[in-house]
């Protein structure tokens, strides 16, 4: 990787800039919290006497689409606290009836809501997120950059109240759910965001400038007045039990190609385990798990898997990895926890120690995950082994930071491998070891410019048994990876220049990269035109250019993708565009032209939908050049939400992919994925869900029904039924059926 030293030099120079004296920051707004003199009822009604004593924040301004303007409706924020909790009281004017649904936790972001962002370190690096909608549905998460991660959950309390011309919310967060220093030279920071769907407005206090470089919380207000409270010491024990009965059957081996079936075969599964969380300090938390509960209640998103050049990537859903996961994140995807397929036990430490945002993860895994996307060396499934990761990030100035990430993955030797007598000394070292180390930094230059970068090195050792003569051969190789990203944003014009290089022998079995042996240039530019009146609110011009060469200078991919977005005042938008692509596959260059269209519409309370489509040239990826050819592809992705009642939601998703020899010709490959998730949310805690899914490629119809009672995160009861139907010759028959029960209870200590 000949150019890596140059990137490392650039990284060191910019780290030095990050360590330079900070520029003077503008004075922030502030809001004082008042200690409550009487018990505060959390019922959504701001009628307790203490609310009248609390100072107010009212100067909300529009975030989008007309940044800085006065909003259509008023919003008022007050803050109280007592010995155990901080309480936010928010009043929202609503001359037009708010749009909201009674949904599962974290499922209300497409309607009216109000969300509090709370930075308990006061440095603008990380914030807790707590929100409610007018139905009292909760949302929570962690904000570390531009968008919150709503997969994080905590136990807190909130209620909402509606009347004819307004709605109000009370959000009470126990101090035990927060991490903060017992003595800090900085006040907490707070930022409040409100979504008003009827007016198509997002507003905030304090006002936010999209064109100002740095994280959102750098523009937050100081939250003063909180004193004499103890820092968070949340600890819990969360045992779980899981049981299932599964029956399967298939075609009889003696009648292959017929409809003859084997008898039903029954399998039972019983699992039990425990998760433990405890505070090592006021800012450092230990999570440990034995036989962790990694049963998947939520299904993965529907993804097309036909004619794919690069491996598919799935999001993490398991609570153990989500808790404190932001402490292990970096600019590059060097840690992809879905590689850990069957954990047996694990421990994780996250939080702030000695001024460093720190994270450490150690897991024993039974293997079975695909290693596709690891880089050089193949994508076979992993064997049993260990995963270990250590992360540290040091905030330097407001929004600037330096950090490192190191990780290792070891795999046991394959079972049943016999070693000759003269190779016994190699037995302990047999198997594979893969590891990496990387450094990263983020720097802000003035008000509009910012930069992030990361560079690292991976090293792999493979021990292979050679049978004749019997011996162990050791192979060792390594390579580097680096990224540099420069941003400019003034609210009207935006630009992003990214450079990334991945060596030809790069391999990271803990992370995910869809390419290796690549040098990439990514340039994104946008320009906005805003209109104060009329049906059209904004026109946004976009251009996205992505060019990839291998490390020998051969062009493997180039893509120029201009498009324009028309945003309308009535919650609708349309984005037409096209792509000019040149792609190298097995030594041959394929020029391509595609037309893209994206449409979204939220005009009606009961129905909203989005449509993405792309048609044009493509490649049929064969195993050899002779099996590959220029083709025509069509793809559509349609999502619709229907809410006939506030407590009933139907989410429909249809994905279609079609590959043909010529435009609109007979398909060579065609796949439909269809899923309809019908949810009845009877209360904040009780719900029933039906979710049929169909895959035309495998001619498989899957269906599941789930009844759930979620008292709060960690205390849940699920009863589910799964079934599958496959087409054998001329008839559709049931080939699998399952009933399962999952229960867990969180004991707060």
Residues 92, 78 contacting (CB under 8 angstroms):
no
Q: How confident is the model at residue 260 (pLDDT cuts 50, 70, 90)?
A: low
Quick: pLDDT tens for 627-677. 999 999 999 999 999 999 989 999 999 999 999 999 989 999 999 999 999
Cis peptide before 206 (omega within 30 of 0): yes
466 lies in some domain: no
| Predicted confidence (pLDDT) at residue 49 exceeds the cutoff of 80 | yes
Query: Which position has the token pair 């040098």?
Result: 519
Query: Which position has the token pair 């503008």?
Result: 26
Please, which residues have CB within 8 angstroms of residue 679's CB and are 6 or more apart in sequence? 103, 104, 648, 649, 650, 651, 687, 688, 689
- What is residue 668's predicted lDDT score, i.e. its pLDDT? 94
> 536 versus 109: which is more confidently predicted?
536
Q: Are strands 75-81 and 34-35 parallel, antiparallel or unpaired?
A: parallel
Residue 631 to residue 670: CA distance in whole angstroms: 13
> 325 versus 60: which is more confidently predicted?
60
Residue 650 to residue 642: CA distance in whole angstroms: 5
Residues 266, 247 contacting (CB under 8 angstroms):
yes
- What is residue 253's predicted lDDT score, i.e. its pLDDT? 56
pTM of the model: 0.84
246 lies in some domain: no
Q: What would the DSSP string read from start to end of 284-307?
A: EEEEEEES------SPPPP---SS
> 427 versus 508: which is more confidently predicted?
508
Q: How confident is the model at residue 725 (pLDDT cuts 50, 70, 90)?
A: confident
Tell which phi-psi region holds residue 699, choosing left (phi > 0), alpha (psi between -120 and 50) or beta: left
Q: How confident is the model at residue 417 (pLDDT cuts 50, 70, 90)?
A: low
Residue 433 to residue 507: CA distance in whole angstroms: 11
| Predicted confidence (pLDDT) at residue 424 exceeds the cutoff of 50 | no
- What is residue 252's predicted lDDT score, i.e. its pLDDT? 57
152 lies in some domain: yes
| Predicted confidence (pLDDT) at residue 565 exceeds the cutoff of 90 | yes
| Predicted confidence (pLDDT) at residue 414 exceeds the cutoff of 60 | yes
> 233 versus 698: which is more confidently predicted?
698
Residue 54's domain comprises: 33-224
pLDDT above 70 as % of the chain:
89
Residues 428, 412 contacting (CB under 8 angstroms):
no
82 lies in some domain: yes
- What is residue 130's predicted lDDT score, i.e. its pLDDT? 97
Residue 204 to residue 221: CA distance in whole angstroms: 11
> 547 versus 462: which is more confidently predicted?
547
| Predicted confidence (pLDDT) at residue 428 exceeds the cutoff of 50 | no
- What is residue 632's predicted lDDT score, i.e. its pLDDT? 97
| Predicted confidence (pLDDT) at residue 30 exceeds the cutoff of 80 | yes
518 lies in some domain: no
Instruction: Using only the alpha carbons of the chain, give its radius of gyration.
Output: 27
| Predicted confidence (pLDDT) at residue 41 exceeds the cutoff of 70 | yes
- What is residue 23's predicted lDDT score, i.e. its pLDDT? 42
Half-sphere exposure of 72 toward its Cβ, with a 13 Å CA cutoff? 15
Cα dihedral 132→133→135→136 (10° resolution):
0
Residue 153 to residue 25: CA distance in whole angstroms: 33
- What is residue 230's predicted lDDT score, i.e. its pLDDT? 80
| Predicted confidence (pLDDT) at residue 44 exceeds the cutoff of 50 | yes
Per-residue pLDDT, averaged over 368-396, amounts to: 91
Q: Helices in 308-347 by DSSP H: which ranges?
A: 319-322
Which of 215-229, 255-269, 336-350 bottoms out in mean pLDDT, i.e. has the lowest?
255-269
Per-chain mean pLDDT for the chain: 87
343 lies in some domain: no
- What is residue 37's predicted lDDT score, i.e. its pLDDT? 94
Please, which residues have CB within 8 angstroms of residue 678's CB and are 6 or more apart in sequence? 648, 649, 650, 689, 690, 691
- What is residue 307's predicted lDDT score, i.e. its pLDDT? 83
88 lies in some domain: yes
Residue 476 to residue 436: CA distance in whole angstroms: 14
Q: How confident is the model at residue 300 (pLDDT cuts 50, 70, 90)?
A: low
Q: What would the DSSP string read from start to end of 594-621?
A: EEEEEEEE--SSSEEEEEEEEEEEEEE-
| Predicted confidence (pLDDT) at residue 20 exceeds the cutoff of 70 | no
Residue 343 to residue 295: CA distance in whole angstroms: 11
Nearest to 113 by CA among 130, 131, 129, 127: 131
Strands in 249-341 per DSSP E: 265-279, 284-290
Residue 144 to residue 284: CA distance in whole angstroms: 17
Nearest to 205 by CA among 33, 59, 56: 59
Number of domains in the chain: 1
| Predicted confidence (pLDDT) at residue 18 exceeds the cutoff of 60 | no
Strands in 586-685 per DSSP E: 588-601, 607-620, 629-645, 648-660, 667-681
Which of 312-326, 377-391, 433-447, 530-544 bottoms out in mean pLDDT, i.e. has the lowest?
312-326
- What is residue 447's predicted lDDT score, i.e. its pLDDT? 83
Indicate the length of the chain as a whole number: 749
2 lies in some domain: no
Residue 477 to residue 465: CA distance in whole angstroms: 18
Residue 225 to residue 586: CA distance in whole angstroms: 65
Q: How confident is the model at residue 579 (pLDDT cuts 50, 70, 90)?
A: very high
Per-residue pLDDT, averaged over 538-557, amounts to: 95
Assign residue 63 the CATH number of its domain.
Answer: 2.60.40.1190
Residues 732, 738 contacting (CB under 8 angstroms):
no
- What is residue 148's predicted lDDT score, i.e. its pLDDT? 86
Residues 19, 441 contacting (CB under 8 angstroms):
no
Quick: pLDDT tens for 147-189. 788 888 889 999 999 998 999 999 999 998 898 887 777 899 9
Q: What would the DSSP string read from start to end of 413-467?
A: PPTT----GGGGGGGGG-EEEEEEEEEEEEEEETTTEEEEEEEEEEEEEEEEEEE
Q: How confident is the model at residue 294 (pLDDT cuts 50, 70, 90)?
A: low
């Amino acid at each position: 990787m000949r150019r890596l030293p140059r990137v490392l030099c650039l990284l060191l120079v910019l780290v030095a800039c990050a360590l330079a004296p900070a520029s003077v920051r503008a004075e922030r707004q502030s809001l004082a919290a008042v200690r409550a003199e009487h018990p505060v009822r959390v019922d959504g009604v701001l009628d307790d006497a203490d609310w009248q004593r609390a100072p107010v924040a009212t100067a909300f301004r529009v975030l989008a689409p007309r940044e800085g303007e006065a909003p259509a409706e008023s919003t008022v924020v007050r803050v109280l606290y007592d010995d155990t909790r901080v309480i936010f009281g928010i009043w929202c004017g609503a001359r037009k009836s708010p749009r909201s649904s009674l949904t599962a936790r974290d499922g209300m972001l497409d309607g009216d809501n109000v969300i509090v962002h709370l930075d308990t370190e006061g440095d603008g690096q990380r914030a807790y997120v707590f929100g409610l909608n007018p139905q009292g549905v909760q949302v929570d998460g962690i904000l570390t950059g531009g968008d919150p991660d709503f997969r994080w959950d905590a136990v807190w309390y909130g209620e909402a109240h509606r009347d004819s011309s307004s709605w109000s919310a009370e959000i009470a967060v126990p101090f035990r759910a927060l991490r903060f220093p017992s003595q800090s030279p900085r006040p907490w920071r707070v930022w409040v965001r409100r979504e008003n769907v009827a007016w198509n407005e997002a507003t905030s206090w304090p006002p936010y400038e999209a064109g100002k470089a740095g994280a959102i919380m750098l523009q937050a207000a100081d939250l003063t007045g909180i004193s004499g409270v103890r820092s968070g010491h949340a600890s819990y024990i969360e045992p779980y039990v899981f049981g299932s009965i599964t029956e399967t059957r298939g075609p009889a081996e003696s009648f292959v190609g017929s409809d003859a079936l084997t008898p039903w075969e029954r399998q039972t599964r019983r699992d039990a385990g425990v998760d433990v969380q405890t505070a090592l300090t006021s800012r450092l938390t230990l999570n440990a798990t034995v036989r962790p509960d990694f049963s998947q209640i939520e299904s993965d998103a529907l993804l097309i898997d036909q004619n794919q050049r690069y491996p598919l990537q799935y999001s993490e859903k398991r609570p153990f990895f989500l808790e404190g996961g932001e402490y292990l994140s970096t600019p590059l995807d060097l840690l992809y926890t879905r590689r850990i397929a069957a954990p047996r036990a694990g421990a994780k430490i996250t939080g702030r120690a000695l001024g460093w945002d720190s994270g450490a993860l150690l897991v024993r895994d039974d293997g079975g995950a695909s290693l596709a996307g690891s880089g050089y060396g193949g994508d076979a499934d992993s064997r049993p082994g260990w995963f270990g990761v250590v992360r540290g990030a040091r905030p330097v100035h407001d929004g600037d930071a330096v950090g490192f990430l190191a990780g290792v993955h070891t795999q046991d030797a394959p079972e049943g491998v016999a070693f000759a007598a003269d190779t016994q000394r190699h037995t302990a070292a047999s198997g594979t070891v893969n590891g990496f180390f990387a450094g990263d930094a983020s720097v802000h230059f003035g008000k509009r410019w910012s930069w992030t970068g990361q560079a690292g090195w991976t090293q792999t050792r493979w021990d292979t048994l050679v049978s004749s003569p019997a011996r162990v051969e050791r192979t060792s190789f390594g390579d580097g990876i680096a990224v540099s990203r420069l941003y400019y944003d003034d609210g009207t014009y935006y630009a992003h220049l990214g450079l990334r290089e991945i060596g030809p022998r790069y391999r990271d079995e803990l992370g995910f990269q869809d390419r290796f042996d690549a040098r990439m240039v990514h340039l994104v530019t946008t320009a906005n035109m805003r209109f104060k009146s009329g049906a059209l609110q904004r026109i946004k011009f976009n251009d996205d250019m992505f060019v990839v060469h291998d490390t020998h200078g051969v062009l493997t991919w180039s893509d120029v993708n201009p498009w324009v977005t028309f945003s309308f005042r009535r919650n609708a938008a349309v984005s037409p565009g096209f792509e000019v692509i040149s792609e190298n596959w097995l030594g041959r260059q394929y020029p391509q032209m595609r037309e893209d269209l994206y449409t979204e519409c939220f005009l009606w309370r009961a129905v909203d939908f989005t449509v993405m489509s792309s048609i044009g040239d493509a490649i049929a990826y064969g195993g050899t050049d002779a099996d590959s050819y220029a083709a025509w592809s069509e793809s559509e992705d349609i999502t619709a939400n229907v809410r006939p009642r506030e407590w009933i939601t139907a989410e429909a998703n249809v994905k279609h992919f079609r590959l043909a020899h010529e435009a609109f010709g007979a398909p060579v490959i065609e796949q439909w994925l269809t899923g309809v998730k019908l949810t009845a949310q009877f209360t904040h805690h009780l719900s029933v869900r039906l979710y049929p899914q169909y895959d035309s490629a495998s001619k498989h119809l899957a269906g599941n029904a789930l009844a759930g009672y979620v008292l709060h995160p960690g205390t849940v009861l699920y009863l589910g039924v799964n079934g599958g139907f496959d087409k054998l010759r001329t008839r559709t028959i049931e080939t699998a059926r399952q009933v399962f029960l999952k229960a867990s209870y969180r004991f707060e200590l």
